């Protein structure tokens, strides 16, 4: 599992093993993660107004096939959009993107099946793909090693930790003492010149999540 991207790893950690659809918060973080990955790889650019486009970026070469549906949606817009505007428009239209992530994880054996049964009967209504527990555990072990056991921090793991924190999922895998220690290490990363490059990405994730959660998630929670 060491060769997975932070988007694939986030999916394994964030999606319910019982087959529930991703929550709005998880869906937003999957978009933010995918965009961050494409910006890092040079497939997308951001202009001075933080609008996303493929202008002055390298051509899509399908090296990241699980991001293809998201990439095509972004460049398919009539005019460049900020990530907030994009999420507001597409937060409920991610089926192809989610399926592509699942397919990429199935290839490496990280996806299993879960049977959804009727409420009043044991009859199986449908079978849905879900993360295998051992695949998720392997990702968490990497997080634990790098953040809590003084391992060498990698960019993908730092971004994954930030996404799990933003979506309130650290407590699913770490007790309070461990989560606090992880957050302390993350603060050290943010204040270190050694991690200047990754800090730019973390700052962008901070800005994106704050803006999107305020404009998109909070109205859903408040019932607006």
What sign has the CA pseudo-torsion 47, 155, 11, 69? positive
Read off the tokens for 220. Answer: 């859903």
In a domain, 96, yes or no: yes
At residue 81, what are phi and psi to the nearest 5 degrees? -125, 155
Whether 51 is in a domain gets the answer yes
Q: Is residue 187 part of a domain?
A: yes
CB atoms within 10 A of CB 159: 24
220 in a domain, yes or no? no
- Distance CA(160)–CA(11), nearest Å, equals 10
Confirm if 114 and 123 have CB atoms less than 8 A apart: no
Domain count, the chain: 1
* Residue 221 belongs to some domain of the structure: no
Query: What's the CATH code of the domain at 168?
Result: 1.10.3630.10
**Tens of each residue's pLDDT in the chain, 224 residues:** 568 999 999 999 999 887 777 888 898 999 999 999 999 999 999 999 999 999 889 999 989 999 999 999 999 988 999 999 998 888 778 899 999 999 999 999 999 988 776 666 666 657 788 999 999 999 999 999 999 998 889 999 999 999 999 999 999 999 999 999 999 999 999 998 888 888 989 999 999 888 887 766 544 444 44
Q: 175 lies in a domain?
A: yes
CA distances, 196 to each of 57, 162, 188, 192 (Å) = 22, 15, 12, 7
Task: Evaluate if pTM is beyond 0.85.
Answer: yes
CA-based nearest residue to 20, from 106, 128, 135: 128
Residue 78 is encoded by which pair of tokens? 């009539």
């Amino acid at each position: 599992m060491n060769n997975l991207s932070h988007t694939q790893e986030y999916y394994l950690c964030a999606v319910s093993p019982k087959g529930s659809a991703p929550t709005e918060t998880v869906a937003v973080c999957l978009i933010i993660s995918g965009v961050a990955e494409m910006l890092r790889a040079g497939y997308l650019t951001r202009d001075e107004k933080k609008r996303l486009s493929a202008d002055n970026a390298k051509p899509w070469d399908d090296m990241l096939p699980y991001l293809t549906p998201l990439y095509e949606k972004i460049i398919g817009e009539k005019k460049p959009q900020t990530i907030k505007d994009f999420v507001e428009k597409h937060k409920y239209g991610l089926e192809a993107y989610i399926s592509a992530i699942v397919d990429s994880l199935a290839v490496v054996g990280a996806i299993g099946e879960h049977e959804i049964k009727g409420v009043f009967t044991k009859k199986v209504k449908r079978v849905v793909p879900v993360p295998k527990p051992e695949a998720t555990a392997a990702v968490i072990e990497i997080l634990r090693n790098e953040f809590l056991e003084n391992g060498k921090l990698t960019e993908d793991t730092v971004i994954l930790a930030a996404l799990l924190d933003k979506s309130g999922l650290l407590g699913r895998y770490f007790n309070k003492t461990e989560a606090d220690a992880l957050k302390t290490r993350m603060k050290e990363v943010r204040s270190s010149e050694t991690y200047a490059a990754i800090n730019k990405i973390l700052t962008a994730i901070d800005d994106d999540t704050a803006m999107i959660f305020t404009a998109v998630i909070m109205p859903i929670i408040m019932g607006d």
